[in-house]
């Protein structure tokens, strides 16, 4: 028995295509590694924010923020499929590889975007939901559709999207945006350029072929190396700042200063080599991931020790 009667076999055959996507392809659309960063920084912010929040509200909010981040990843992969197909690093992604159709990635991203914002508005508050909606819009439209293909400052400005999850987490608890969450934002915002430009130095040829105006492509490796060092230097005081506004103890400040100094130390060899030392760039890229994780972990440990009375 046929469930639905149809169809003129001469109709558009594309519509008869049967999806070959597996569940893993849809998970890949969400960019799980980016999601892990979002989860961790938003969680840290939720736990650091004053006042506390019901655990169920916190967990559901975290899920919504994570899904929202994944949604923007899916929209990014939908729009960037042409670029991704030209780059070795990204050509096996579900859309350029043909396992997920562009319209499927678009629909997936839109549904998750609306759903995540709706859940956050019902669970937490309108400010947090609005911030999540803005984050998705900023990443999918401002960064992906505009900045990425237009300016070498793409990842500098676009980094705001990746830096917003702690602000959302803070808003979930406090229904406000405080100086504290602004500083957490600045840490990720200033961390983004050295992180992505280190990758850009390694993949400059890929970006050139794809026509993406990353700084190493437009300004060269030496300029990029100097910019990496500059941002690493500015990142150090931003990383230490939580200790100066009472969000963390002086002990955290010392740890953050050491981590920031190591970031600068890792950037110096890249400058010395004029940006042409792949080993140094790879080391900085790897260290930058470690840096961000440890800074936020240190904030959490510091808060935990404070609550246990370690700092008097």
Partner 1 sequence: MVWLSVTDDKGLENGLRLTEDQQRRRRNRSIAMALALGGLVVIMIAITLVRGPIPLVVPL
Interface with partner 1 by CB under 8 A: which residues?
1-7, 9, 11-12, 15-16, 18-23, 26, 54, 56-57, 60, 63, 115, 119, 122-123
Shortest distance, position 97 Cβ to partner 1, whole Å: 14
**4-106-202-296 Cα dihedral, nearest 10 degrees:** -110
Look at residues 159, 135, 167 and name the one whose alpha carbon lies nearest to residue 41: 167
Closer CB to partner 1, 114 or 261, in the complex: 114
Q: Measured from the CB of residue 229, what is the shortest distance to partner 1 in angstroms?
A: 45
Residue number, 121 or 153, with CB nearest to partner 1: 121
Least distance between partner 1 and beta carbon 12 (Å):
5
Residues with Cβ within 8 Å of residue 97, at least 6 apart in sequence: 91
User: How near is the Cβ of 39 to partner 1 at its closest, in Å?
Assistant: 16
Angle between helices 278-307 and 32-48 (to 10 degrees): 30
Judged by beta carbon, residue 7 or residue 308, the one nearer partner 1 is 7
> Which C-beta is closer to partner 1: that of 10 or that of 307?
10
Return d(Cα 185, Cα 168) in angstroms, integer: 10
Distance CA 224, CA 272 (A): 12
Is 1 or 308 the residue whose CB approaches partner 1 more closely?
Answer: 1
Question: In whole angstroms, what is the distance from residue 170 CA to residue 240 CA?
Answer: 19
- The residue (of 11 and 205) whose beta carbon lies closer to partner 1 is 11
Mapping DSSP to helix (H, G, I), strand (E, B) and coil, where does residue 97 land? coil
Specify the residue, 65 or 225, whose C-beta has the smaller distance to partner 1. Answer: 65
Give CA–CA dist 194/263, Å, rounded. 9
Q: Considering beta carbons, is residue 57 or 230 the nearer one to partner 1?
A: 57
The closest of 112, 78, 71 to 96, measured between CA atoms, is 78
CB of 169 to partner 1, least distance (A): 17
Shortest CB 108 distance to partner 1, Å: 11
CB of 81 to partner 1, least distance (A): 20
Neighbours of 32 (CB within 10 A): 13
Smallest separation (angstroms) from partner 1 to the CB of 13: 9
Q: CA 258, 262, 263, 269: dihedral to nearest 10 degrees?
A: 160
For residue 211, CA distances in Å to 144, 206, 214, 218, 237 come to 14, 9, 9, 10, 35
Give the Cα separation of 235 and 291 in Å (integer).
11
Do residues 93 and 28 make contact, with C-beta atoms less than 8 angstroms apart? yes
């Amino acid at each position: 028995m046929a469930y639905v009667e149809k169809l003129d076999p001469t109709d558009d055959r594309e519509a008869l295509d049967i999806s070959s996507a597996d569940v893993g392809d849809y998970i890949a659309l969400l960019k799980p590694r980016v999601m892990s960063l979002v989860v961790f920084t938003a969680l840290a912010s939720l736990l650091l924010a004053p006042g506390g929040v019901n655990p169920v509200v916190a967990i559901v909010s975290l899920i919504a923020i994570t899904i929202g981040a994944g949604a923007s990843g899916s929209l990014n992969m939908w729009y960037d499929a042409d670029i991704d197909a030209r780059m070795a690093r990204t050509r096996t992604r579900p859309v350029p590889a043909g396992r997920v159709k562009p319209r499927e990635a678009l629909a997936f991203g839109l549904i998750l975007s609306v759903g995540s914002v709706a859940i956050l508005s019902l669970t937490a508050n309108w400010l947090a939901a609005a911030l999540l909606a803005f984050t998705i819009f900023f990443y999918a439209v401002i960064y992906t559709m505009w900045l990425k293909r237009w300016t070498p400052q793409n990842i500098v400005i676009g980094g705001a999207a990746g830096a917003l999850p702690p602000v959302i987490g803070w808003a979930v608890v406090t229904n406000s945006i405080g100086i504290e969450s602004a500083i957490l934002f600045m840490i990720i915002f200033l961390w983004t350029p050295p992180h992505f430009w280190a990758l850009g130095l390694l993949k400059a040829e890929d970006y050139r072929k794809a026509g993406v105006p990353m700084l190493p492509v437009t300004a060269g490796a030496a300029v990029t190396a100097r910019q990496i060092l500059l941002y690493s230097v500015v990142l150090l005081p931003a990383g230490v700042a939580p200790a100066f506004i009472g969000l963390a103890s002086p002990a955290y400040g010392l740890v953050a200063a050491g981590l920031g100094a190591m970031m600068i130390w890792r950037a110096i060899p890249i400058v010395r080599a004029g940006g042409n030392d792949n080993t140094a760039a790879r080391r900085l890229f790897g260290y930058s991931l470690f840096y961000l994780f440890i800074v936020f972990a240190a904030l959490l440990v510091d808060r935990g020790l404070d609550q246990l009375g370690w700092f008097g």
